[in-house]
Amino acid sequence: MPPIQAVPVFKLYGEERGWPTPDLLHCESILQRSSLYEWHIRVHQHAEMVQLLYLHQGRAEIEIEGATAVMTASCIQVVPALCIHGFHFSPGTQGYVLSLALPLLSRFENQFGRPLDVLSVPQCVPVGRSRGHMHTLFSALREEYCEEHDAREMMLYSLLGTLLVWLNRQCRPAPPTEDKAERKRSMMRHFSRLIESHYRQHLPLAEYAKLIGLSVTHLNYLCREFYGCSALGVLHQRLMLEARRNLQYTRMTVTQLSDYLGFSDAAYFSRFFRRYSGMSPKAFRETIKDNAL
């Protein structure tokens, strides 16, 4: 396995940094993505999402953390955030890849009342007698994701909730390994969970570092290693994700959104938004409306 510095960090296979959709999930067929790359997705990792690969029919060779496994029977491969992985499919392989942003998983964990440990360890979950049910579920997720039906987000989250409950019932994850690389990933996952709980409070980095048990210097070092930016940059990316979603999906005024996100005043929020997006919040909202016409 290549050294971690050499492993590209993607949000989706080969795409530029930045979550590519206002949705907090992304669903596509194996054919749609892998056929563009001759059925071979090279080794990479995802910084802020978990992936579920559902193999319905065909053959998949999966490399995860340096180990290679061959999948031929219907199954779901769990790929945790920051897990180094690659795929090699036989041509014509059928199935789906579901990408779930960590902020969305945090919501479901709140509903479960505990962490979804099944998503924290790479593992292959046999589908068995649930094959037809899983194929229907993933097909429905894909169809709902691609369309703009009424109450679309509610339906997507309902389908996803069904999938996560099923997955959680199937298995107990193996205890995580304790090597150095896994300890680093564990600290970064802890940082992600803390951000999700506190990003609107604008806590100082020293407070985050203290809660993780690191120095600010070490936290910044790990963020640059795994995310390609400073710890503050990771925090700002989360704020920008929430800002964009609210500008697109709610009627909040810029002042209301500024207050909601914990900024001291709307002018400061507007400068922050412009610095990361190249346009004002108002211009961003107008662009979204124009594109929808």
Q: Please write the tens of the pLDDT for every residue from 185-219.
A: 889 888 988 998 899 999 999 999 999 999 999 99
Measured in whole angstroms, how far is the alpha carbon of residue 171 from the centre of its chain? 21
Same domain, yes or no: 184 and 142: no
Q: Are residues 193 and 244 in the same domain?
A: yes
pLDDT recorded at residue 14: 38
The verdict on 227 and 148 lying in the same domain is no
| 89 — pLDDT class (breaks 50, 70, 90) | very high
Measured CA distances, 114 to 16, 108, 220 (Å):
33, 9, 28
Res. 291: pLDDT tops 80:
no
Mean pLDDT, all residues of the chain: 86
Judge contact between 222 and 187, C-beta under 8 A: yes
Residue 126 pLDDT greater than 80, yes or no: yes
Residues 40 and 156 in one domain: yes
What is this structure's pTM?
0.68
For 224-238, how does the pLDDT look when each residue is reduced to its tens digit (9 = 90+)? 888 888 999 999 999
Nearest-angstrom CA–CA distance, 129 and 92: 23
Number of domains in the chain: 2
* 91 and 230 both lie in a single domain: no
Strands (DSSP E) found in 67-210:
67-71, 75-79, 85-89, 94-101, 123-126
| Mean pLDDT for the stretch of residues 24-50 | 85
Question: Do 164 and 185 fall within a single domain?
Answer: no
Q: For helices 180-198 and 231-249, what crossing angle results, to 10°?
A: 40
Q: Rounded to whole angstroms, what are the CA distances from 24 to 21, 85, 115?
A: 7, 21, 18
d(CA 249, CA 159): 20
**Of the residues 144, 170, 196, which one is the last residue of a structural domain?**
170
152 and 277 in a common domain: no
Same domain, residue pair 165 and 232: no
Contact in structure between 74 and 57 (CB atoms under 8 Å):
yes
| CATH number for the domain that contains residue 148 | 2.60.120.280
Q: Is-contact 280 288, C-beta < 8 A?
A: no
The pLDDT tens digits of the residues spanning 4-34 come to 444 555 544 334 444 445 678 999 999 887 8
Q: Say what the pLDDT of residue 13 is.
A: 37
Based on the fold, state whether residues 191 and 107 are members of the same structural domain. Answer: no
The reply to whether 8 and 103 lie within a common domain is yes
- For residues 260-275, give the mean pLDDT: 95
Residue 185 lies in a domain: yes
- Is 271 found in the same domain as 184? yes
The answer, yes or no, to whether residue 262 has pLDDT greater than 90, is yes
* Residue 69 structure tokens: 């496994």
Q: In which band, very low, low, confident or very high, does the pLDDT at 278 lie, cut at 50, 70 and 90?
A: very high
**Which of residues 170, 188, 223 is at a domain's end?**
170
Quote the domain boundaries for residue 258: 180-292
